[in-house]
């Protein structure tokens, strides 16, 4: 593990322990981001991805008023090399926080995500049921040259305050899935990310 990565994981563990969230810049290098941006999945985008729903399987309803993103779940075994680079960093992150925060994370589930222009995800909590196995939410952004005026901030609600996070290329945001409500504000550009959750039990697809 190189020094920068170790430093980033320390920063992440400290943030989660102290505030329930952490923002890590350059989690992916510009080259690593570019390799993911260029995957067919993101290039074909809306043709290939499915409209995201709310809730599980049969109860799933697609609700424009709540969220407008398109997603494609990633199968770790058959993922493209560019994605495997990210997934292996997630595995190292899991090992690190398990050791340093005494968590017992076992697995992750992740999807590629596109928010078309003008779409959003209203204020919500990622862990919507008590039996949910999502412990930490992890989102890595893939948007080069993103500016404040492009919008698309992740807004995290912390007590009476809010923290706005721009979806900058290579930036990773990690937060407590059971604790922190958040929303995605509409953007004037298409907004790409890899969204995932660290689980306290193995994930089977």
Please give the residue ranges that form the binding site for ligand OGA (CB under 6 A). 121, 126, 139, 154, 182, 184, 193, 195
Q: Which residue is nearest to ligand OGA (CB)?
A: 154
Question: Which one of Mn ion, ligand OGA, none is in contact with 193 (Cβ closer than 5 to 8 A by kind)?
Answer: ligand OGA
Q: Is the CB of 32 or the CB of 126 nearer to ligand OGA? A: 126
Question: Which one of ligand OGA, Mn ion, none is in contact with 171 (Cβ closer than 5 to 8 A by kind)?
Answer: none
Give the three-class secondary structure for 152: coil
List all residues 6 or more positions away from 147 whose beta carbon is below 8 Å from its beta carbon: none
In the complex, minimum distance from the CB of residue 115 to ligand OGA, in angstroms, rounded to a whole number: 7
Question: Which one of ligand OGA, Mn ion, none is in contact with 195 (Cβ closer than 5 to 8 A by kind)?
Answer: ligand OGA
Beta strands in 1-144 (DSSP E): 21-24, 50-51, 70-73, 107-115, 121-124, 134-141
Q: Is the CB of 80 or the CB of 183 nearer to ligand OGA? A: 183
List all residues 6 or more positions away from 112 whose beta carbon is below 8 Å from its beta carbon: 39, 41, 42, 49, 71, 72, 74, 192, 193, 194
Residues that bind Mn ion (CB under 5 A): 126
């Amino acid at each position: 593990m190189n020094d920068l990565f170790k430093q980033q994981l320390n920063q992440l563990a400290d943030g989660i322990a102290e505030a329930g969230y952490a923002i890590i810049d350059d989690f992916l290098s510009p080259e690593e981001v570019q390799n993911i941006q260029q995957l067919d999945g993101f290039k074909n985008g809306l043709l290939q991805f499915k409209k995201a729903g709310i809730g599980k399987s049969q109860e799933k309803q697609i609700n424009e008023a709540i969220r407008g993103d398109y997603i494609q779940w990633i199968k770790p075994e058959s993922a493209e090399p560019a994605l495997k680079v990210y997934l292996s960093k997630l595995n190292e992150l899991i090992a690190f926080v398990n050791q340093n925060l005494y968590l017992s994370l076992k697995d992750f589930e992740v999807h590629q995500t596109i928010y078309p222009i003008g779409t959003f995800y209203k204020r919500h909590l990622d862990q919507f049921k008590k039996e949910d196995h999502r412990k930490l939410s992890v989102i890595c952004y893939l948007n080069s040259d993103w500016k404040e005026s492009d919008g698309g901030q992740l807004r995290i609600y912390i007590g009476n305050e809010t923290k706005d996070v721009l979806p900058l290329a290579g930036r990773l945001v990690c937060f407590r899935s059971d604790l922190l409500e958040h929303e995605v504000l509409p953007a004037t550009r298409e907004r790409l990310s890899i969204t995932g959750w660290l689980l306290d039990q193995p994930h089977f697809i």
